[in-house]
Amino acid sequence: MRSTFDTKGDPGEAGLHVAIIMDGNGRWANARGLPRIAGHRAGADSVRRTVEAAPSLGISVLTLYAFSADNWRRPAREVSGLMKLFARYLVQERERCIANGVRLQAIGRRDRLPASVVKLLEETEQKTVGGRKLHLRLAIDYSSRRAILDAARSLKMVTEESLSRVIGPDVDLLIRTSGEQRLSDFLLWECAYAEMVFTRRMWPEFSIEDLSGAIDEFRRRDRRFGAITPMNEARTA
Protein backbone atom coordinates (compact mmCIF):
# COMPACT_ATOMS: atom_id res chain seq x y z
CA MET A 1 0.00 0.00 0.00
CA ARG A 2 1.79 3.11 -1.22
CA SER A 3 1.12 6.68 -0.22
CA THR A 4 -0.83 9.01 -2.49
CA PHE A 5 1.59 11.79 -1.54
CA ASP A 6 4.25 12.78 -4.02
CA THR A 7 7.51 14.62 -3.57
CA LYS A 8 7.58 17.01 -6.52
CA GLY A 9 3.92 17.73 -7.03
CA ASP A 10 3.67 15.22 -9.89
CA PRO A 11 0.36 13.30 -9.65
CA GLY A 12 0.88 9.58 -9.34
CA GLU A 13 4.59 9.74 -8.52
CA ALA A 14 4.73 7.96 -5.18
CA GLY A 15 7.69 8.67 -2.95
CA LEU A 16 9.24 6.55 -0.24
CA HIS A 17 7.75 5.85 3.17
CA VAL A 18 10.65 6.13 5.61
CA ALA A 19 10.20 5.31 9.28
CA ILE A 20 12.75 6.24 11.92
CA ILE A 21 13.25 4.99 15.47
CA MET A 22 14.90 8.08 16.92
CA ASP A 23 17.07 6.43 19.57
CA GLY A 24 19.97 7.70 21.65
CA ASN A 25 18.92 11.13 22.93
CA GLY A 26 19.55 10.23 26.56
CA ARG A 27 22.89 8.53 25.92
CA TRP A 28 24.01 11.48 23.79
CA ALA A 29 23.26 13.81 26.72
CA ASN A 30 24.85 11.55 29.33
CA ALA A 31 28.07 11.34 27.33
CA ARG A 32 28.28 15.14 27.53
CA GLY A 33 27.39 15.44 31.19
CA LEU A 34 24.01 16.97 30.33
CA PRO A 35 20.53 16.15 31.65
CA ARG A 36 18.57 13.72 29.50
CA ILE A 37 16.05 16.38 28.51
CA ALA A 38 18.91 18.27 26.82
CA GLY A 39 19.32 15.24 24.57
CA HIS A 40 15.63 15.32 23.70
CA ARG A 41 15.88 19.02 22.82
CA ALA A 42 18.84 18.27 20.55
CA GLY A 43 16.79 15.42 19.09
CA ALA A 44 14.02 17.91 18.22
CA ASP A 45 16.56 19.83 16.13
CA SER A 46 17.34 16.60 14.26
CA VAL A 47 13.62 16.16 13.60
CA ARG A 48 13.48 19.61 12.04
CA ARG A 49 16.49 18.91 9.80
CA THR A 50 15.07 15.58 8.71
CA VAL A 51 11.60 16.94 7.94
CA GLU A 52 13.04 19.81 5.91
CA ALA A 53 15.27 17.51 3.85
CA ALA A 54 12.83 14.62 3.35
CA PRO A 55 10.97 15.78 0.19
CA SER A 56 14.19 16.57 -1.70
CA LEU A 57 15.40 13.01 -0.95
CA GLY A 58 12.31 11.39 -2.44
CA ILE A 59 10.42 10.81 0.81
CA SER A 60 6.67 11.41 0.72
CA VAL A 61 5.74 9.80 4.06
CA LEU A 62 7.93 10.10 7.16
CA THR A 63 6.92 8.28 10.35
CA LEU A 64 8.90 9.14 13.48
CA TYR A 65 8.80 7.12 16.71
CA ALA A 66 8.54 9.97 19.21
CA PHE A 67 7.15 8.30 22.34
CA SER A 68 6.29 4.63 22.79
CA ALA A 69 3.61 3.19 25.04
CA ASP A 70 6.47 1.73 27.09
CA ASN A 71 8.05 5.16 27.64
CA TRP A 72 5.53 5.93 30.39
CA ARG A 73 7.80 3.76 32.57
CA ARG A 74 10.49 6.44 32.49
CA PRO A 75 10.93 8.84 35.43
CA ALA A 76 7.98 11.21 35.79
CA ARG A 77 10.27 14.24 35.44
CA GLU A 78 11.55 13.05 32.06
CA VAL A 79 8.04 12.21 30.81
CA SER A 80 6.79 15.64 31.87
CA GLY A 81 9.70 17.28 30.09
CA LEU A 82 8.97 15.31 26.91
CA MET A 83 5.31 16.36 26.94
CA LYS A 84 6.33 20.00 27.26
CA LEU A 85 8.78 19.51 24.41
CA PHE A 86 6.04 18.01 22.20
CA ALA A 87 3.82 21.01 22.94
CA ARG A 88 6.62 23.46 22.16
CA TYR A 89 7.44 21.65 18.91
CA LEU A 90 3.82 21.79 17.76
CA VAL A 91 3.59 25.52 18.46
CA GLN A 92 6.95 26.39 16.88
CA GLU A 93 6.69 24.17 13.81
CA ARG A 94 3.03 24.59 12.84
CA GLU A 95 3.51 27.61 10.58
CA ARG A 96 6.66 26.08 9.10
CA CYS A 97 4.69 22.94 8.24
CA ILE A 98 1.93 24.96 6.59
CA ALA A 99 4.41 27.05 4.58
CA ASN A 100 6.30 23.97 3.36
CA GLY A 101 3.36 21.74 2.50
CA VAL A 102 3.84 19.33 5.41
CA ARG A 103 0.80 17.52 6.71
CA LEU A 104 1.27 16.47 10.33
CA GLN A 105 -0.63 13.55 11.80
CA ALA A 106 -0.25 11.84 15.17
CA ILE A 107 -0.69 8.08 15.49
CA GLY A 108 -1.09 6.25 18.78
CA ARG A 109 -3.26 6.73 21.84
CA ARG A 110 -4.41 10.17 22.94
CA ASP A 111 -6.39 9.41 26.07
CA ARG A 112 -3.25 9.32 28.26
CA LEU A 113 -1.66 12.49 26.87
CA PRO A 114 -2.07 15.84 28.63
CA ALA A 115 -5.18 17.65 27.41
CA SER A 116 -3.07 20.63 26.32
CA VAL A 117 -0.94 18.39 24.06
CA VAL A 118 -4.03 16.72 22.55
CA LYS A 119 -5.52 20.13 21.80
CA LEU A 120 -2.34 21.28 20.04
CA LEU A 121 -2.13 18.02 18.11
CA GLU A 122 -5.69 18.33 16.85
CA GLU A 123 -5.25 21.98 15.92
CA THR A 124 -2.04 21.25 14.04
CA GLU A 125 -3.58 18.28 12.22
CA GLN A 126 -6.52 20.43 11.12
CA LYS A 127 -4.37 23.36 9.98
CA THR A 128 -1.87 21.24 8.05
CA VAL A 129 -4.34 18.81 6.46
CA GLY A 130 -3.81 20.37 3.03
CA GLY A 131 -0.05 19.73 2.97
CA ARG A 132 0.96 17.69 -0.09
CA LYS A 133 4.77 17.64 -0.12
CA LEU A 134 5.27 15.47 2.96
CA HIS A 135 3.04 13.43 5.23
CA LEU A 136 4.70 13.61 8.64
CA ARG A 137 3.40 11.01 11.10
CA LEU A 138 4.43 11.30 14.75
CA ALA A 139 4.00 8.11 16.75
CA ILE A 140 3.14 9.27 20.27
CA ASP A 141 2.05 6.88 23.05
CA TYR A 142 2.30 4.33 20.28
CA SER A 143 2.26 0.52 20.36
CA SER A 144 2.10 -1.40 17.11
CA ARG A 145 0.48 -4.40 18.78
CA ARG A 146 -2.22 -2.13 20.17
CA ALA A 147 -2.69 -0.47 16.77
CA ILE A 148 -3.17 -3.84 15.06
CA LEU A 149 -5.67 -4.98 17.69
CA ASP A 150 -7.62 -1.73 17.50
CA ALA A 151 -7.69 -1.87 13.69
CA ALA A 152 -8.92 -5.48 13.70
CA ARG A 153 -11.66 -4.67 16.21
CA SER A 154 -12.87 -1.74 14.08
CA LEU A 155 -13.45 -3.91 11.00
CA LYS A 156 -16.46 -6.08 10.32
CA MET A 157 -14.37 -8.32 8.12
CA VAL A 158 -10.60 -8.48 8.61
CA THR A 159 -8.55 -8.98 5.47
CA GLU A 160 -4.97 -8.08 4.69
CA GLU A 161 -6.15 -5.23 2.46
CA SER A 162 -8.66 -3.80 4.93
CA LEU A 163 -6.22 -4.00 7.83
CA SER A 164 -3.51 -2.25 5.82
CA ARG A 165 -5.98 0.45 4.82
CA VAL A 166 -6.84 1.20 8.46
CA ILE A 167 -3.32 0.90 9.89
CA GLY A 168 -1.40 2.87 7.28
CA PRO A 169 1.01 2.65 4.34
CA ASP A 170 3.72 0.02 4.04
CA VAL A 171 7.20 1.14 5.07
CA ASP A 172 9.92 1.06 2.42
CA LEU A 173 12.87 1.90 4.66
CA LEU A 174 13.21 1.67 8.44
CA ILE A 175 16.13 3.45 10.10
CA ARG A 176 17.13 3.04 13.75
CA THR A 177 19.81 5.15 15.32
CA SER A 178 22.14 4.49 18.32
CA GLY A 179 23.24 0.98 17.32
CA GLU A 180 20.23 -0.95 18.63
CA GLN A 181 18.82 -3.51 16.18
CA ARG A 182 15.19 -4.22 17.05
CA LEU A 183 11.74 -2.87 16.16
CA SER A 184 10.57 -2.15 19.72
CA ASP A 185 6.85 -2.52 18.88
CA PHE A 186 7.04 -0.01 16.03
CA LEU A 187 5.04 -0.46 12.79
CA LEU A 188 5.22 -4.26 12.93
CA TRP A 189 2.56 -4.78 10.25
CA GLU A 190 3.78 -1.97 8.01
CA CYS A 191 7.41 -3.14 8.16
CA ALA A 192 6.69 -6.65 6.84
CA TYR A 193 8.81 -5.99 3.73
CA ALA A 194 10.76 -2.94 4.83
CA GLU A 195 14.47 -2.66 4.24
CA MET A 196 16.27 -1.85 7.48
CA VAL A 197 19.31 0.30 8.14
CA PHE A 198 20.86 0.46 11.60
CA THR A 199 23.39 3.13 12.44
CA ARG A 200 25.49 3.75 15.54
CA ARG A 201 24.84 7.48 15.27
CA MET A 202 22.87 8.88 18.18
CA TRP A 203 19.72 10.63 17.02
CA PRO A 204 20.93 14.19 17.88
CA GLU A 205 23.96 13.52 15.64
CA PHE A 206 21.95 12.10 12.73
CA SER A 207 22.63 14.32 9.73
CA ILE A 208 21.13 14.86 6.31
CA GLU A 209 24.17 13.03 4.92
CA ASP A 210 23.29 10.05 7.13
CA LEU A 211 19.71 10.09 5.85
CA SER A 212 20.82 10.41 2.25
CA GLY A 213 23.30 7.55 2.76
CA ALA A 214 20.57 5.30 4.18
CA ILE A 215 18.37 6.01 1.16
CA ASP A 216 21.27 5.28 -1.20
CA GLU A 217 21.77 1.97 0.62
CA PHE A 218 18.05 1.23 0.24
CA ARG A 219 18.18 1.90 -3.51
CA ARG A 220 21.14 -0.47 -3.93
CA ARG A 221 19.29 -3.38 -2.38
CA ASP A 222 17.57 -6.04 -4.46
CA ARG A 223 13.96 -6.07 -3.24
CA ARG A 224 12.41 -9.34 -4.48
CA PHE A 225 9.39 -9.72 -2.13
CA GLY A 226 9.81 -13.49 -2.27
CA ALA A 227 10.16 -13.66 -6.05
CA ILE A 228 13.25 -14.08 -8.23
CA THR A 229 14.56 -11.14 -10.20
CA PRO A 230 15.65 -11.75 -13.82
CA MET A 231 19.31 -11.32 -12.79
CA ASN A 232 19.07 -13.95 -10.05
CA GLU A 233 17.05 -16.23 -12.29
CA ALA A 234 19.81 -16.12 -14.88
CA ARG A 235 22.37 -17.01 -12.22
CA THR A 236 20.41 -20.11 -11.13
CA ALA A 237 19.54 -21.27 -14.65
The pLDDT tens digits for 167-201 are: 999 999 999 999 999 999 999 999 999 999 999 99
Domain boundaries, the chain: 16-236
pLDDT greater than 50 at residue 2? no
User: Given this model, what pLDDT does residue 9 score?
Assistant: 35
User: Out of 88-92, 109-113, 227-231, which region has the weakest mean confidence (pLDDT)?
Assistant: 227-231
pLDDT bucket at 8, cuts 50 / 70 / 90:
very low
User: Given this model, what pLDDT does residue 222 score?
Assistant: 83
Query: What's the pLDDT tens digit per position in 50-75?
Result: 999 999 999 999 999 999 999 999 99
pLDDT greater than 90 at residue 1? no
Residue 199: CA count within 13 A, CB half-sphere:
25
**Comparing C-alpha atoms, which of 167, 140, 139 is closest to residue 152?**
167
Q: For residue 199, what is the DSSP state?
A: -
- Answer whether CATH 3.40.1180.10 is correct for domain 16-236: yes
The pTM score is 0.89
User: Given this model, what pLDDT does residue 24 score?
Assistant: 97
End-to-end CA distance of the chain: 32
Task: Give yes or no for a contact between 133 and 55, defined as CB atoms under 8 angstroms apart.
Answer: yes
Catalytic residues: 23, 71
d(CA 147, CA 133): 26
User: Given this model, what pLDDT does residue 47 score?
Assistant: 97
Q: Where are the alpha helices (DSSP H) in the chain?
A: 25-31, 36-53, 76-99, 115-128, 144-154, 160-167, 208-220, 230-236
Q: Percentage of residues in the chain with pLDDT exceeding 70?
A: 89
